[in-house]
Structure 1
Amino acid sequence: MILRYLIFFAQLWALCLANVNMFISKEEMNRTFGVKAELNYIEMGNVSSYSTKFHYRVMANIDYLSFTWNAVGIVHYEVYVESDDSSVLPIVRIPLKGTVPESLQDFTVEYRCAGHRSGQFAVSLYFTFKYGNKEPLKVKLRQEKICASRDGRRGLNGGYEGHEVDDTDSIDKAFFVIICIAAAFLLIVAATLICYFKRSKKEDMIPTRLPTSFRNSLKSTKSAQPFLLSTPRDGPPTLSAISSAPCSSSSASGNSIIPSKPRNIDVRRALLQLYQDRDAFQSLPLDMEGTFGEVRYAIWRQVDDVLNGDVDDEEDTFCNQEAVYTKTLKNNASPIQLDRFLSDALLFYNITPHQNLSQVACVASFGRFDRPETVTDFPLVCYRHQGFGNLKKFLTICRHGDKTKGAQTLRTHQLVSLATQVSSAVAHIHKYRIVHNDIAARNCLIAEVNGRLQVQLCDSALSRDLFPADYHCLGDNENRPLKWMSPEAIANELYSSAADVWSLGVLLWELMSLGGSPHAEIDPEEVYTMILKGKRLQQPNNCPDQLYEVMLCCWRVLSEDRPSSEQVVHGLRDFNIQLSQYI
């Protein structure tokens, strides 16, 4: 009898504590929307007003969408789905009634287009969750399915609806497969013969006067001078350069150093030109947060005057959705912080775009900047970005190997490519006589574009708030990134393009150390003294000698002895080309 009571009270307690979670995973968001961020609908029974208002767009080449859910305790559900047009048939791939699983599981919603009309069609997914004596939790999720006009749509099983396969089709397919196999076989044979002759030719090109052991090492590593593979005792093979560094003393002489000057940007004019209505932005969960500011991904729904198809719904005037990376201030920020935030964010305003430079795409507000009395919120500064977000955060995740957060194994040639890209962005702003003053991994964004990593240099807005450990004060209430700064900038506040090159060298070190903290063992107050004594950051593991030499060139004490950013770019590009030939 006592056991029955205990079981009853345990079940009652479980019902009282019951809750549900439901979200779209980061991997699914990346697959279907191109944004590497998680979209939470329900978290421990709390419904996200941001996410449930968002109309999730399912593109024409996407046939299904996966949701992830689980329950704490016993949670019953009911679900049904409806489409506003018969051109789309949505199918939920779970029972319409049941119990939410206690472990994280995925379920899918399939979207089948009839193929008669092209356009954008609304689909709604309704959930009702029941647990304990609580009021049922009702949630509505909105999707927009894009359909293209064609005879059939591919389903989850890989087949096409509305098309019957007869014997003639089977014979034609079999014949086509045989032809493809034969052609592939001929291509493989031809490629093998070409590789064989090229390899023989390369071996013949090795000078016969070299020692036999050296000739064998060249053959075994498939490389030639100036790089040899060496294996250190405490790590995997690295590339060691036996040639001189790409920036020598002679190449650095005669540089034209650009002094740092305020850009004197007309902030009001810039805000008027960049203005967008805040209602057009659907914020996603937080990516980073500081004391006074925050960073989020968001979806920018842009009005397109040219409608595809014959859809009459008023909401369908929003035809383009674009992922953006946003920065804004919290309500506790002061007017002084707002002025600093906007001046930092507009550093690259109105200069020629560059693929490795992240510039402000727009600034959003609920009010209008031409009528200041209507503006009651802090501006939302937006950057076009579909990727991993902050470079420093990404490198740290990769160093720790956390696969659940998107960690990747970064190869040497990838890191050298990133170094070349960000150096190119620095050289670009220097052409416009703009000095950054805070070049670091924390002020870069990284994404994957066409299968390759792409880095973009960004402004320093909110960096002091988001990364307070990277900034230190020397008694004047001005936080500075001392461990990234050149000696003349620390001692005399002399900022210039040469000081940027010093910081660029530290950023290259951050890349090769996967987000390591520079001079972590040195107190900020001692950095200047240690630099004058010849202290430099140590060569990271697996960092090629030639790339480390570039860093050392950037860290010369006298600013006139450092290479220009353009010289760093040329050196890294040459090095990257050579590196790609031997990896």
Structure 2
Amino acid sequence: MKPANKTWLILIFVSTIVTLSNGYLNLYLNLPEVQKLLGLEAELYYVRDGEINQYALNFVVPVPSKIDSLQFTWENVVGYPLPYSIDVSANSAALYPPQLNISATGNVPTSTQTFSISLPCTGLSAAEVNIVIKINISVTYENVTTLVLRRRKICTKLESVSGTQVLVDTMPSYSNSTNIFYFAVGTALVMILILALFIILFYVKNKKERRTVENNNRPTSSYLASMPRNTVNSTYNESFRSMPSYSLLDERSKDLQERIAELTVQRCRVRLSSVVMEGTFGRVYLGSYTTEDGKEETVIIKTVTDHASQVQISLLLQEGMSMYSLNNKNILSILRVSIEDHTAPFLLFPYKNTKNLKTFLQKCKLSPEGVSHTLTTQEVVDMSLQVIHGLQYLHKKHLLHKDLAARNCVVDDKLRVQIADNALSRDLFPSDYHCLGDNENRPVKWLAIESLLHKTFSTNSDIWSFGVLLWELTTLAQQPYIEIDPFEMAAYLKDGYRLAQPINCPDELFAVMAYCWAMSADERPTLVQLQVCLQEFYTQLTRYV
């Protein structure tokens, strides 16, 4: 184990405990093995002094294609023989039969020893192979405890492997010079065809861009040069038919134009009541909206001040419309839009006594008696499960959030959580965003390592951000990595450092966070796996309430 200053990286599951009868056994993954599989400085115990960790056993550990063997460390600490038998099953053409480097039966060693299981891929096909490792420990003749460990081995198909049987069986033979000549000529023709295709595409693209530039250079009365033209229904009054004319940049802006047109309402039907949040140029109001049947509905209104720039107004509309037409109880979708000439746009959202999750968590630290009120672990797990449910819905719609954090969620008095867009977040929470010299404000300390380094986003990068959000829930919205300079974050994460385990945070919950922050995106858990783990933990908590 590492010194005390690195104990926050230690990943030790202490969940549902089952005693291994009267026997005592240690079975765990040592530090190098956890570093190899998960990129963490930790030891992962399956059995510690005879106590079985069911939570760790239930977690399916992914094994990257580059790793061909698994290492397990064990020790008999009871003083008398503990017979064992090991069976490894993996039925797939993508994987050779797993091999143990020890006997399949015998006695658990009385000193700390490591055994391995080889998992070489055949290279014949690509697959995710489910591997089941069953270890039977015989405490007595009639008392046999079975430990089931699961792995998911990722195998890739090899296109060419020189000097192997795979190459001979799967690649065509070019044994004579005539075949080699024809192969070379064919390859050259294919390359020429590809080059010609690229030239044609380049010409068409340039021609299209010149046409776009010419269209954009035409005079326009828009105060929002980067936003789409807003077309409105002819039933609206004259002031709405003379909406500002926005230039169409691409298909995405055309889609945005159609969405805004569908949601547009007259400004006279919107009434501002009080300011809820305010930044330098952004403002959030509590107000009301009169529906078509005359009913008044309370809404949250996002808008900008009069001195906001065109870019800021453009971002408000683009980011505010990101949750357009989504229907899920854990997603806050936009309700209406109101845009009039020479005035700031209004974005209307449903309001049901909700408040920003980050400000709510920060207020939990305060009370009339001056004593912090901390959410219970059960409440934190329940809120995180709601976020997972909303994130699953987004991903099923092929949408990535890219800025998942407490500041971009809302919560009501019954702790019901909804994921919201990130419109105005840069202005309302400026300390959460940093510019790293690329003229772009980004949530640096919430981003996955690949998003920070290469600006690449995926469902796995959203899962990294979920881990930080879970850390925010347990710390009542403390600033992550507060002592780390934003310019040093990439190097800090590459060195293997992560957020510290919060005070009073159960090991089970911190283990989930740590898995979300695996260095390799493919090694992070899926949303389904996170849901299963957290739901199981939540069930355990309710048993004692």
* TM-score between the two structures when normalised by the length of structure 2: 0.54
Residue pair 1:244, 1:546 contacting (<8 A) in 2 also: no
Q: What secondary structure, in the 3-state scheme, does the structure 2 residue paired with 1:387 have?
A: coil
Match of 2:333 in 1: 359
Letter of the structure 1 residue corresponding to residue 395 of structure 2: H
Q: What is the percentage of aligned positions where both structures have the same residue?
A: 36
Match of 1:249 in 2: 61
| Counterpart pick for 2:488 among 517, 526, 532 | 526
Match of 2:364 in 1: 398
Letter of the structure 1 residue corresponding to residue 346 of structure 2: L
Letter of the structure 2 residue corresponding to residue 380 of structure 1: F
| Counterpart pick for 1:517 among 479, 482, 504 | 479
Match of 2:319 in 1: 344
The 5-angstrom pairing of residues 112-511 of structure 1 reads 243-244=55-56, 247-250=59-62, 266-304=255-293, 318=294, 320-351=295-326, 353-365=327-339, 367=340, 375-401=341-367, 409-448=374-413, 452-511=414-473
The 5-angstrom pairing of residues 499-578 of structure 1 reads 499-578=461-540
Letter of the structure 1 residue corresponding to residue 378 of structure 2: H
1:301, distance to aligned residue in structure 2 (A): 2.9
Structure 2 alignment gaps of length 5 or more: 1-17, 24-52, 63-150, 156-250
Letter of the structure 2 residue corresponding to residue 249 of structure 1: V
The CA distance in 2 between the partners of 1:264 and 1:418, in whole Å, is 35
Please give the per-residue CA displacement for 1:183-217, whole angstroms capped at 9, x wherever unaligned.
xxxxxxxxxxxxxxxxxxxxxxx999789xxxxxx
Count of residue pairs the alignment pairs up:
317
1:475, distance to aligned residue in structure 2 (A): 0.6
The CA distance in 1 between the partners of 2:153 and 2:322, in whole Å, is 29
Residue pair 2:448, 2:461 contacting (<8 A) in 1 also: yes
* TM-score between the two structures when normalised by the length of structure 1: 0.51
Residue pair 1:247, 1:563 contacting (<8 A) in 2 also: no
1:376, distance to aligned residue in structure 2 (A): 2.5
The CA distance in 1 between the partners of 2:57 and 2:420, in whole Å, is 28
The verdict on how the C-alpha distance between 1:346 and 1:534 changes in structure 2, with shifts beyond 3 A counting, is same
Please give the per-residue CA displacement for 1:439-492, whole angstroms capped at 9, x wherever unaligned.
0000001113xxx31010001101111111111111111011110011111111
Residue pair 2:277, 2:428 contacting (<8 A) in 1 also: yes
The CA distance in 2 between the partners of 1:360 and 1:425, in whole Å, is 15
Residue pair 1:254, 1:560 contacting (<8 A) in 2 also: no
The verdict on how the C-alpha distance between 1:534 and 1:252 changes in structure 2, with shifts beyond 3 A counting, is farther
Residue pair 1:486, 1:502 contacting (<8 A) in 2 also: yes
Q: What secondary structure, in the 3-state scheme, does the structure 1 residue paired with 2:56 have?
A: coil
Letter of the structure 2 residue corresponding to residue 364 of structure 1: S
Please give the per-residue CA displacement for 1:61-101, whole angstroms capped at 9, x wherever unaligned.
xxxxxxxxxxxxxxxxxxxxxxxxxxxxxxxxxxxxxxxxx
Residue pair 1:443, 1:460 contacting (<8 A) in 2 also: yes
1:364, distance to aligned residue in structure 2 (A): 2.1
The verdict on how the C-alpha distance between 1:542 and 1:357 changes in structure 2, with shifts beyond 3 A counting, is same
The CA distance in 2 between the partners of 1:331 and 1:292, in whole Å, is 8
The 5-angstrom pairing of residues 10-89 of structure 1 reads none
1:578, distance to aligned residue in structure 2 (A): 2.1
The CA distance in 2 between the partners of 1:252 and 1:504, in whole Å, is 23
The verdict on how the C-alpha distance between 1:402 and 1:462 changes in structure 2, with shifts beyond 3 A counting, is farther
- Coordinate RMSD, CA, aligned: 2.9
1:339, distance to aligned residue in structure 2 (A): 1.5
The verdict on how the C-alpha distance between 1:334 and 1:504 changes in structure 2, with shifts beyond 3 A counting, is same
Q: What secondary structure, in the 3-state scheme, does the structure 1 residue paired with 2:364 have?
A: helix
The CA distance in 2 between the partners of 1:479 and 1:268, in whole Å, is 25
Please give the per-residue CA displacement for 1:210-248, whole angstroms capped at 9, x wherever unaligned.
89xxxxxxxxxxxxxxxxxxxxxxxxxxxxx87328654
Please give the per-residue CA displacement for 1:491-537, whole angstroms capped at 9, x wherever unaligned.
11111111111111000000011111100111111111111111111
The CA distance in 1 between the partners of 2:255 and 2:424, in whole Å, is 20
1:574, distance to aligned residue in structure 2 (A): 2.2
Q: What secondary structure, in the 3-state scheme, does the structure 1 residue paired with 2:415 have?
A: strand
Structure 1 alignment gaps of length 5 or more: 1-205, 212-240, 256-261, 305-317, 368-374
1:565, distance to aligned residue in structure 2 (A): 2.4
The CA distance in 2 between the partners of 1:332 and 1:427, in whole Å, is 38
Please give the per-residue CA displacement for 1:551-570, whole angstroms capped at 9, x wherever unaligned.
11100000111112232223
The verdict on how the C-alpha distance between 1:392 and 1:344 changes in structure 2, with shifts beyond 3 A counting, is same
The CA distance in 2 between the partners of 1:245 and 1:509, in whole Å, is 24
Residue pair 2:319, 2:422 contacting (<8 A) in 1 also: yes
Residue pair 1:246, 1:546 contacting (<8 A) in 2 also: no
The verdict on how the C-alpha distance between 1:575 and 1:210 changes in structure 2, with shifts beyond 3 A counting, is same
Residue pair 1:440, 1:484 contacting (<8 A) in 2 also: yes
Match of 1:11 in 2: none
Residue pair 1:248, 1:553 contacting (<8 A) in 2 also: no
The CA distance in 2 between the partners of 1:495 and 1:207, in whole Å, is 43
The verdict on how the C-alpha distance between 1:532 and 1:383 changes in structure 2, with shifts beyond 3 A counting, is same
The verdict on how the C-alpha distance between 1:403 and 1:498 changes in structure 2, with shifts beyond 3 A counting, is farther
Letter of the structure 1 residue corresponding to residue 472 of structure 2: E
Please give the per-residue CA displacement for 1:251-307, whole angstroms capped at 9, x wherever unaligned.
77669xxxxxx9666121111111122222332221111111101111223243xxx
The CA distance in 1 between the partners of 2:152 and 2:301, in whole Å, is 39
